[in-house]
Amino acid sequence: DGGITQSPKYLFRKEGQNVTLSCEQNLNHDAMYWYRQDPGQGLRLIYYSQIVNDFQKGDIAEGYSVSREKKESFPLTVTSAQKNPTAFYLCASSSRGGFPDTQYFGPGTRLTVL
């Protein structure tokens, strides 16, 4: 079955530590996205990538970093510079990255900073 996988489902981190969230897709999609979800705020775009070896900042990129070395993978690193990293993180992909492509979402990773 084609789809998007995110791991781990739950992640705990101590303050001051970097942590990397995994996102893999086997849909052969060109574009991939990372969103952050906080209660009552909807989803906010962190980073997006339209093609391998290229990515762009979204609305809330500060304290985050990404890489896109392979078409199927788009890992997100939450750095110690992110002031309030506790949130639900969602990865998505779409076929072309141009509008109006439908974005398909993974199951999410819940990050808690202790």
Partner 1 sequence: AQSVTQLDSQVPVFEEAPVELRCNYSSSVSVYLFWYVQYPNQGLQLLLKYLSGSTLVKGINGFEAEFNKSQTSFHLRKPSVHISDTAEYFCAVIAGGTSYGKLTFGQGTILTVHP
Classify strands 43-51 and 104-105 as parallel, antiparallel or unpaired: unpaired
Site residues (CB under 8 A) for partner 1? Answer: 4, 6, 31, 33, 40-45, 48, 50, 56, 58, 90, 92, 94, 97-108, 110
Burial call 55-76: b when 16+ CB within 10 Å, e when fewer: beebeebeebbbebeebbebbb
Of 16 and 42, the one with the shorter C-beta distance to partner 1 is: 42
Judged by beta carbon, residue 17 or residue 62, the one nearer partner 1 is: 62
The answer to whether 14 touches 113, Cβ cutoff 8 Å, is yes
> Please, what is the minimum distance in Å from the beta carbon of residue 50 to partner 1?
6
Query: C-beta of 80: minimal distance to partner 1 in Å?
Result: 26
- Nearer to partner 1 among residue 81 and residue 98 (C-beta): 98
Pairing between strand 54-57 and 43-51? antiparallel
8 vs 17 by CB, closer to partner 1: 8
Contact criterion met (CB below 8 Å) for 51 and 94: no
- Closest contact distance (angstroms) between CB of 77 and partner 1 is 20
